[in-house]
Structure 1
Amino acid sequence: MATLQIDGVSKSYGDIKILKRVDIEIDPGDFLVLLGPSGCGKSTLLNLIAGLDEITDGEIRIAGERVNELSPKDRDIAMVFQSYALYPTMSVRENIEFGMRIRKVPDAERTEAVKRVAALLQIEPLLDRKPSQLSGGQRQRVAMGRALVRNPKLFLFDEPLSNLDAKLRVDMRTEIKKLHQRLGTTIVYVTHDQIEAMTMATKVAVMKDGYVQQLADPETIYDTPASVYVAKFVGSPAMNIIPATFRLTDQGTEVRLSRPDGSVISLRDVAISTEAARQYSGRDVLVGIRPETFHTAPAAEEGAFEVDVDVIEPTGPDTLAFFTLGGTEVIARLEPRSVQSGRSARLNVNMAKVVLFDRETEKRIQ
């Protein structure tokens, strides 16, 4: 286990800036997920940590040691690639122990290490097979075994599940999480899949255009996103972002959302600081409401309001209801069979879960 510190790291190729002053720090045993769309710089950052590319500016430290000038073999890291990168002519056993052979690890030690890792990953029956005789999930286990046998300071995973089908991805997510819990290793994991990030990480760095938009634990990322970008990128369906007007009144804070017929819905007691409430009173804002933050409400419930449901999508355990507020299509995740298409529905919102964003900067108002 090791700490990882990334201080002001930038990467450019000529005039093209890929990473722009990235700052990340994780503790021993953390599972950091670098999350973002293609082209955001997450794989470039992983390559810089691994030593596969040179840093333009900044510093990377592993276990407190600066590694900028160290070659990959001297950084004590192990990497699992998207493509598995297995040697096709070697058996599973030979693939796993290949790195140890190169380092001239004694035979008995190699045998014991392969046995330990094979048991951990439940691939003992596969040790004498060739990669061509394995399924995608089995190949990924072998690739992980080759990394685990090293017992390095840091594990790096570069979109390791993207080549697997949907069911295998779910299974392997669980396996990797179990592995992390058992071994307590420090992991940096690259993905564009927000489900992988939310289910496996202890910390998530959401990236866009070479910047880290937010670094926090998954619950914080989900409940209090730092920007509209993070709010929309994490969550399925994504957080509703609704144009509205904010007011500070004698009764407290109030957000006013317009219906299609021109009438107004008032949401009271938004949780923001007194200073921010004074600053934004009378201004247009963006309101962030997760779909599950809505619920159907009895007529007598304080703060409830009516909406006209355009269409519903029953999913089994719940129903997605679509309607319009603030000129924007809104999605609510509600109880099964609680609303109908083309009918009005009485809803309410858990105001403790509502967040506000600045209309211009799209940053969260605190």
Structure 2
Amino acid sequence: MSTLEIDRVRKSYGSLEVLKEVSISIDTGDFLVLLGPSGCGKSTLLNMIAGLETISGGEIRIAGRVVNDLSPKDRDIAMVFQSYALYPTMTVSQNIQFGMKIRGVPKAERAKAVQAAADMLQITHLLERKPSQLSGGQRQRVAMGRAIVRQPRLFLFDEPLSNLDAKLRVDMRTEIKRLHARLGTTIVYVTHDQIEAMTLATRVAVMKGGVVQQLDEPQTVYDRPANVYVARFVGSPSMNVIPGTLRVEGDKVMAVIEVQNRPPATISGIGLSRDAAARYAGRPVLVGIRPELFSVANGQPGTITVDIDVVEPTGPDTLAVFQLGGVEVTARLPPKQVEAGTATMLAVDTSKLVLFDPATENLIK
């Protein structure tokens, strides 16, 4: 059963259209991440689901019920804000149970719910402290505890980790993933951080300019991006998108790419449907290669000889930068295998190589 259905939803501020007929459906227990840069419309969409923003067109349904005109308190949702939104004069315990108290939940039931949430989030020892006495990570746990005790049908997270330092972000990602596994709840989570999206989501909606560019499982978004925008936005370093020409010889599909100061390189073994191969044979294409698909060649055929411009050691691996097809390309290689200023033979794993149409920038299938 779908817990959340967003059906052709639009949002306009006068003549400015912020969301353009967005349609998303997620099932009970899904963890949906709305991913995109600032201004793409992801937070506006979350606020519309929560009832904090009005809808210009379309429908939002929670558990089959249209909620367009319902107030936030009647939508059976709980929201965790970027700023935590804790009451500074209340203790942690009072903050967690405040919503329950307003709804008239008996004191004994409130106390039981607070204790259960505190145990789950490991904040029992903080229950009598005020928010000013807590670290950023502890405040975020309190905000999550306040959401948990409501037992909502839908949890909404608005960039909850953006105010935390790098170490705390990693820790809190783990906590949120553990929380989702324990409760089996449905979550909609807004972030611009692709690592959060890849590690937390069961489904990712990549957004740009108020339009969902791709909605799919995280690994599919990474391996088979719907277009060049998604390819470059998801992944760090991002996917290399290299101009080339498609060549077809019988059943063999190859991409021919110009190499700086060297003869053109041919990448063979590209998987492409017969129809697509026929349509694009002899035509320009954009070749999408993730940095980790490169490896230092050990005499195997089909290699590319390149001149390494820059080497960036990161510890577990090395990023090598060079030119292909007139653009800068990055390869992720094991440490100490290449040096700047040297010619190096590289092989390409074509099992996950993808092609894009240069005109539409959409994936060629």
Match of 2:18 in 1: 18
Match of 2:95 in 1: 95
C-alpha RMSD of the superposition: 1.0
1:137 & 1:351 partners in 2: Cα distance? 42
Change (3 A) 1:2 1:356: closer
Tell me, yes or no, if the aligned pair for 1:2 and 1:186 is still in contact at 8 Å.
Answer: no
Deviation of the 1:251 alpha carbon: 5.0
2:100 & 2:213 partners in 1: Cα distance? 39
1:143 & 1:314 partners in 2: Cα distance? 39
Deviation of the 1:351 alpha carbon: 0.6
Amino acid at match of 1:129: R
1:95 & 1:272 partners in 2: Cα distance? 56
Matches within 5 A, 1:301-312: 301-312=300-311
**Does the alignment pair 1:72 with 2:65?**
no
Match of 2:336 in 1: 337
**Does the alignment pair 1:123 with 2:118?**
no
Deviation of the 1:305 alpha carbon: 2.3
1:288 & 1:34 partners in 2: Cα distance? 24
Match of 1:351 in 2: 350
Number of aligned residues: 365
Match of 1:161 in 2: 161
- Please list every run of at least 4 consecutive aligned residues from structure 1 whose deviation after the TM superposition is greater than 6 angstroms: none
* TM-score normalised by the chain length of structure 2: 0.99
Deviation of the 1:262 alpha carbon: 4.9
Task: Summarize deviations over 1:50-92 as a string: whole Å, max 9, x none.
Answer: 1111111111111111111211111100000000000000000
Deviation of the 1:2 alpha carbon: 6.1
Match of 2:247 in 1: 247
SS class of match (2:340):
coil
Change (3 A) 1:2 1:284: closer
SS class of match (1:3):
strand
2:321 & 2:2 partners in 1: Cα distance? 47
Tell me, yes or no, if the aligned pair for 1:7 and 1:24 is still in contact at 8 Å.
Answer: yes
SS class of match (2:94):
helix
1:99 & 1:27 partners in 2: Cα distance? 26
Change (3 A) 1:243 1:203: same
Q: Percent identity?
A: 66
Match of 1:232 in 2: 232
2:12 & 2:310 partners in 1: Cα distance? 47
* TM-score normalised by the chain length of structure 1: 0.98
1:26 & 1:2 partners in 2: Cα distance? 5
More divergent stretch after superposition (64-73 vs 25-34): 64-73
Deviation of the 1:139 alpha carbon: 0.3
Deviation of the 1:294 alpha carbon: 0.5
Task: Summarize deviations over 1:284-322 as a string: whole Å, max 9, x none.
Answer: 1111000000011112x1212211111211111111111
1:222 & 1:2 partners in 2: Cα distance? 25
Q: Gaps (5+ residues) in structure 2? A: none
Match of 1:320 in 2: 319
Deviation of the 1:345 alpha carbon: 1.1
Match of 1:61 in 2: 61
2:105 & 2:2 partners in 1: Cα distance? 23
Tell me, yes or no, if the aligned pair for 2:2 and 2:25 is still in contact at 8 Å.
Answer: no
1:288 & 1:158 partners in 2: Cα distance? 32
SS class of match (2:231):
helix
